Amino acid sequence: MRGSSRRERCVLAVHGGAGFVPRKAPGPYLAGLRRALEAGWEVLAAGGRALDAVAAAVVVLEDDPHFNAGRGSVYNADARRELDASIMDGATLRAGAVAAVSRIRNPVLAARAVLEDGRHVLLAGAGAERFARERGLALVRPSWFATPERLAALRRGLRGYHGTVGAVARDRDGHLAAATSTGGTTGKLPGRVGDSPIIGAGTWAEDATCAVSGTGHGELFVRTALAHEVAARIRHRGEPLGRAARAALAAVARLGGNGGLVAIDRGGRVAMPFNSPAMLRGCIGRNGREAIEVAV
């Protein structure tokens, strides 16, 4: 992963969720994160945009049933799946998102299509699915997202978040981007929308400050505008990325919630803090070296 000085300016970080420790060996989770990093890094190494890199990384995680995004998404209280995703371009502040969709194979690509279309930021439900179909994106039967493990979790009465995915990147031109995708929380009310598709809550990117993708207690991420709070603390208080990220999470903790985030600032520095029991995360830094872990 070594390359020219411009390539070495590239940085990529991904997450596979916070708030749980895998009951089984973490190998499949780490392998999924590695594949996502490789997909995103391939884009950056070839001179591609940060926006393309985060989309490529998140698609890999959406297709991996170990994570709560795309295939493998959790069930709501009606034993159905409703998926959310968003993406943001730090160079232009353009953003796109979809919420409460159940037939779009890769919600992050639908979010990207909303961004590119430019008329709206967030589309939901059947309207979002019709938009995706008109844009030629893959639609699948709702059963395609189903896994036995997620159904068992619903039947056991489990609640909470598990495995939301996301990515942030800096490309060789210094542009930032972020993307987040999730199935939400097990047993959530039908129609519930958390932070992942909300720009400024679960996702934020602007070249002047940072790119952020969060995972955790979605309602509290919305109430604290977590992702935007990181950027605001950098812009208005001059805080370094790590301090700003930890302070944003502390605001969630004061309300009784927890979670984590991955972030990259304009200089390519990476922060991946969490205040939950564990977090799945990985990055390729400015030195081109890869680091992946289940942090506890």
Query: Measured between alpha carbons, how far is residue 38 from residues 66, 90, 140, 148, 199 in Å?
Result: 18, 22, 26, 28, 26
Residue 111 pLDDT exceeds 50: yes
Cα of first residue to Cα of last residue in the chain, in angstroms, is 27
**Cβ atoms of residues 161 and 276 within 8 Å:** no
Catalytic residue ranges? 164
Can you list the domains of the chain with their CATH numbers?
7-295 (3.60.20.30)
Q: Return left, alpha or beta for 235; rule: phi > 0 is left, psi -120 to 50 is alpha, else beta.
A: alpha
Name which of 27-31, 150-154, 284-288 the model is least confident about: 284-288
Sign of CA dihedral 265, 109, 226, 73: negative
pLDDT digits (tens, 9 = 90+) for 53-62: 999 999 999 9
Backbone φ, ψ for residue 177 (5° rounding): -155, 160
Highest mean pLDDT pick, 18-32, 147-161, 258-272: 258-272
Q: How far is 243 from 77, CA to CA, in rounded Å?
A: 38
pLDDT digits (tens, 9 = 90+) for 186-219: 999 999 999 999 999 999 999 999 999 999 999 9
Name the more confident of 17 and 156.
Answer: 17
Query: Angle CA(175)–CA(177)–CA(181) in degrees, nearest 5?
Result: 170
pTM of the predicted structure, to 2 decimals: 0.94
